Amino acid sequence: MKNANEVITLKSDSEGPRIKENMQDINVLANTSILIEGNRIAAIGPLAQVEAEFPYLIAEAKVIDAEGKVVMPGLVDCHTHLVHGGTREQEFMMRLNGATYMEIMNAGGGIHATTKQTRDASFEELYRKTSRHLDTFLKYGVTTVEAKSGYGLDWETEKKQLEVARKLHETHAIDIVSTFMGAHAVPRDYKGREDEFVDVIIRDMLPKVAELHLAEFNDVFCEKGVFTPVQSRRILEAGKALGLMPKIHADEIEPYKGAELAAEVGSISAEHLLVASDAGIRKMAAARTIAVLLPGTAFFLRAPFARGRLMIDEGVPVAIATDFNPGSSPTMSLPFMMNLACMHMGMTLEEVLVATTINAAYAINRGDQLGSLEVGKQADVLMLDVENYKQLQYFYGMNHTNTVIKNGRVVVRNSFLI
Ligand code: NIG
Ligand code: FE
């Protein structure tokens, strides 16, 4: 790939997820070519230098001309509820007429409605629906997606969701990293017996997830009226003992000391954090817990945005994701999330690039393979129809993705899937 206006490599000297001023460090290069061999990046540098170093590879290389375009790593969407049955536009209408998200959920809608639709859907139906969604993600430049279960709330359906994700990881161009989220809601028939459901998760579900290698992470919705911090801690610790890394839906709707809990249990990330406390943010900074912020959820629920600016200033590594799900964030556009983070969280153009590439890769434990253009890393590369990276947010609400190379293979060309 040669002639790009700008190559944004996201390479930096700092180790681990980027914090503070390192979140500005995107490394913009002119006159830079990228040589890909197989599914890895073999060289990055001035064309003459790459040619001199790898004459045998260059002789056979297929050349992609990126003239007038910006080149950057594939986007990593590190928080989605990818596999689910149905849609909930009816609830969206109710919310436009004044109902709240929690009211709808407590009346049997919300997560419960999607749970029913996911239980009712066959493996093939879920597979086909999710595959279409992945096509859309890819067209928007997303090359890796984290996928949470949590619309089964019984073992059979949780397993079905995770198996759909696993099969799509094998068959679809996009890579999928799975999270078990059996603790997404308390099933209706366990109302008043919440601790019993926590026992079911710990005793019956988590060991099977680990044994069948169905997920790498274990997530819980720690929220008033869903799982308490005490119950959440039990579930996360039980997963840890089985090798599942903790993640946590923390402080999304009401402050509940979720950020504090994430830091205390050594969670790789705390997610949402719309109403996280100052103390919680400081604790996350000290523990280097990654904040996965989901501005689409605040936008769509008309809730206050997470305090991204403060978190970065306090030293929390910040990532941004879509939270793609049928209730609180039905979008597959990570670029739009980047725009919202600039406009409503006080983040800079550079910070949102870091937050959706290298920091997002670290949030799913893939920082060593994804998220930056560096020799040896996976060849997930985007070519964008803008003259410079500043135009990515300036021309807002549009898809600038022209070409997507996934694992060394062109999968989107001229904005069309191939
Ligand atoms: O991340 N917070 C809980 N879960 C999702 C919403 C799920 C749904 O509404 O279906 C979220 O916002
Ligand atoms: Fe979520």
Digit-coded pLDDT (tens) for 107-138: 999 999 999 999 999 999 999 999 999 999 99
How much is the pLDDT for 104? 96
Ligand 1, atom 8: closest residue by C-alpha: 327
pLDDT at 302: 96
What tens digit of pLDDT does each residue of 309-338 get?
999 999 999 999 999 999 999 999 999 999
Single out the residue of 30, 28, 37 nearest to residue 66, CA to CA.
30
User: What are 238-273's pLDDT values in tens digits?
Assistant: 999 999 999 999 999 999 999 999 999 999 999 999
Percent of the chain exceeding pLDDT 90 equals: 99
Please tell me the number of the ligand nearest to residue 328's CA. Answer: 1
| The one-letter amino acid at 338 | M
Element (DSSP H or E) covering residue 128: helix 123-139
Q: The pTM is what?
A: 0.98
**Ligand closest to CA 183:** 1
pLDDT of residue 166: 98
Supply the pLDDT for residue 353: 98
Q: Which residue is closest in CA terms to ligand 1's atom 11?
A: 328
Is the separation of the CB atoms in 392 and 334 below 8 Å?
no
- Average pLDDT (372-394) is 98
Please tell me the distance between residue 278's alpha carbon and the centre of ligand 2 in angstroms.
Answer: 22
Predicted pLDDT of residue 69:
98
Ligand 1 atom at shortest distance from the alpha carbon of 323: 1
Cα 112 from Cα 106, distance rounded (Å): 9
The closest of 230, 279, 269 to 249, measured between CA atoms, is: 269
Looking at residue 244, the DSSP 8-state letter turns out to be: P
CB of 114 sitting under 6 A from ligand 1 = yes
pLDDT digits (tens, 9 = 90+) for 92-108: 999 999 999 999 999 99
Separation between Cα atoms, residue 55 and residue 64, nearest integer Å: 17
Give 237's pLDDT tier (boundaries 50, 70, 90). very high
pLDDT band at 196 (very low <50, low <70, confident <90, very high): very high
pLDDT given at position 272: 98
Rounded Cα distance, 238 and 111, in Å? 24
Residue 287 confidence (pLDDT): 98
| Best residue for ligand 1 mutational test, from 83, 111, 115, 232 (most atoms within 8 Å of Cβ) | 111
DSSP string covering 249-304:
EESSSS--SHHHHHHHTT-SEEEE-TT--HHHHHHHHHHT-EEEE-HHHHHHHT-P
> What pLDDT is recorded for position 80?
99
Instruction: Summarize the confidence of residues 284-301 as an average pLDDT.
Output: 98
Q: What is the mean pLDDT of the chain?
A: 97
CB 110 within 8 A of CB 91: yes
> How would residue 386 be classed by pLDDT, with cut points 50, 70 and 90?
very high
Q: 300 in ligand 1 pocket by Cβ < 6 Å? A: no
Ligand 1 centroid from CA 290, angstroms:
19
Given a contact cutoff of 8 angstroms between Cβ atoms, the answer to whether 349 and 6 are in contact is no
**Distance (Å) from CA 327 to ligand 1 centroid:** 6
Question: Ligand 1: which of 305, 323, 329 to mutate, judged by most atoms within 8 Å of the beta carbon?
Answer: 323
Ligand 1 mean position, distance from CA 406 (Å): 29
- What pLDDT, on the 0 to 100 scale, is given for residue 231? 98
At 384, give phi and psi (nearest 5°): -115, 140
User: Does 323 sit in the ligand 1 pocket, CB within 6 Å?
Assistant: yes
What value does the mean pLDDT take over residues 350-374?
A: 98
Q: Is 150 in the pocket of ligand 1 (CB under 6 A)?
A: no
The label of the residue with tokens 């536009």 reads: 89
Q: Give Cα 387 to chain centroid, integer Å.
A: 26
Q: How confident is the model at residue 142 (pLDDT cuts 50, 70, 90)?
A: very high
- The residue among 130, 141, 81, 176 whose CA lies nearest residue 335 is 141
Give the distance (Å) from ligand 2 centre to CA of residue 80.
6
